[in-house]
Amino acid sequence: MRHQARKRFGQNFLQDQQLISEIIACINPQNDDPLIEIGPGLGALTQPLLARVAKLTVIEIDRDLVARLQAKETPGLTIIEADALQINWEELAADRRLRLVGNLPYNIGTPLLLKLAQQANVLVDVHAMLQKEVVDRITAQTGTRSFGRLSVMIQACFEVRTLIEVPPEAFDPPPKVQSAVIRMVPHAEQPTTGELASLEAIARLAFANKRKTLRNNLKKHISDEQFVELGIDPGARAETLGLPQFFALAKLLYKGNTTPSQ
Ligand code: SAM
């Protein structure tokens, strides 16, 4: 029976075989890779992945799709019926680091990646299809319009690269927006949980009003003298700062281990 795509689960199924082959080639799965697919859906990526690896674990929230996958009794396939946002990646990884792949439901893309940033030390890499606009924000460079909180948080933990741009026709049903496949590889040195929390708070404040200067967005927390000490112009806007400067501000703000209010 044909599966009726569910909007609430962000179901846009890949149907372009050439594109699927390109994505698999980018992932370059090896036989004993600890591979996890988020949102297998009707198996567009699952089947070609399984042709390349001995074992594959998939995480799917839609119980009808889980039942379909289970009915196939595919050797090597482990199916977890769960919300990917609730997964504890450290627990799932046990003693090995994971390779994550997924044509992600667009409604969970950003929160999922922010969660992965907190557990990047248990990952080898992530290959994800997302809205192109989100990929552009993740990969944005300092000084560009798309550079913001998401760029800071993800780039603090991962090396990021756009691999493929994907038009709506590649999916059934077609989404309203362009998509793109991104590769994210964790940095060898990861920020500590505390550093990441501080960075998140400072980025949230600094980008609270993108048209305002750093002085205005951070006036309750950082003085002009402190900006100058760090070599930062308080009259500049947040998008002009590089990652090291965000880390420096985060360190300064949280020296006393206090959590500022907005
Ligand atoms: N991988 C398939 C493909 O490329 O054709 C399906 C991709 S579709 C964009 C997203 C998939 O993620 C759907 O199967 C959907 O049911 C599943 N999904 C949605 N929200 C989820 C969540 N929170 N946790 C796990 N899977 C989810």
In tens, the pLDDT along 198-222 reads 999 999 999 999 899 999 999 999 9
Rounded to the nearest angstrom, the distance between the alpha carbon of 167 and the centre of ligand 1 is 18
Percent of the chain with pLDDT over 70: 97
Token pair, residue 90, equals 């450290």
In this prediction, residues 235-250 reach a mean pLDDT of 96
Pocket test for ligand 1, best of 6, 8, 60, 101 (most atoms within 8 A of CB): 60
Give the lowest-confidence range in 30-34, 92-96, 100-104: 92-96
**DSSP letter for each residue of 90-132:** HHHHTTS-EEEEEE--TTTHHHHHHHHHHTGGGEEEEEEEEEH
In this prediction, residues 47-74 reach a mean pLDDT of 97
**DSSP letter for each residue of 32-79:** T--EEEE--TTSTTHHHHHTT-S-EEEEE--HHHHHHHHHHT-TTEEE
pLDDT, tens digit, 9 for 90 and up, residues 128-160: 999 999 999 999 999 999 999 999 999 999 999
What pLDDT, on a 0 to 100 scale, did the predictor assign at position 154? 98
Rounded to the nearest angstrom, the distance between the alpha carbon of 53 and the centre of ligand 1 is 21
- The Cα–Cα gap between 78 and 57 comes to 5
- The Cα–Cα gap between 52 and 262 comes to 49
Of the pLDDT bands very low, low, confident and very high (cuts 50, 70, 90), residue 254 is confident
pLDDT, tens digit, 9 for 90 and up, residues 2-46: 899 999 999 999 999 999 999 999 999 999 999 999 999 999 999
Whether the per-residue pLDDT at 190 is higher than 80: the answer is yes
pLDDT, tens digit, 9 for 90 and up, residues 105-126: 999 999 999 999 999 999 999 9
Rounded to the nearest angstrom, the distance between the alpha carbon of 220 and the centre of ligand 1 is 42
Q: Is the distance from CB of 76 to CB of 55 less than 8 angstroms?
A: yes
Which residue from 93, 23, 17 is spatially nearest to 52, judged by alpha carbons? 23
Domains of the chain: 7-186 (3.40.50.150), 193-253 (1.10.8.100)
- The Cα–Cα gap between 90 and 30 comes to 22
In this prediction, residues 60-65 reach a mean pLDDT of 97
Of the pLDDT bands very low, low, confident and very high (cuts 50, 70, 90), residue 253 is confident
The helix or strand, by DSSP H or E, that contains position 25, with its residue range, turns out to be helix 17-27
Q: Is the pTM of this model over 0.85?
A: yes
Secondary structure of the chain: what % helix, strand, coil (to 5)? Answer: 40, 20, 40
- The Cα–Cα gap between 167 and 130 comes to 12
What pLDDT, on a 0 to 100 scale, did the predictor assign at position 1? 77
Range list of β-strands (E), 132-173: 158-166, 171-172
Rounded to the nearest angstrom, the distance between the alpha carbon of 132 and the centre of ligand 1 is 17
What pLDDT, on a 0 to 100 scale, did the predictor assign at position 260? 45
From the alpha carbon of 171, which atom of ligand 1 is closest? 5
Whether the per-residue pLDDT at 256 is higher than 60: the answer is no
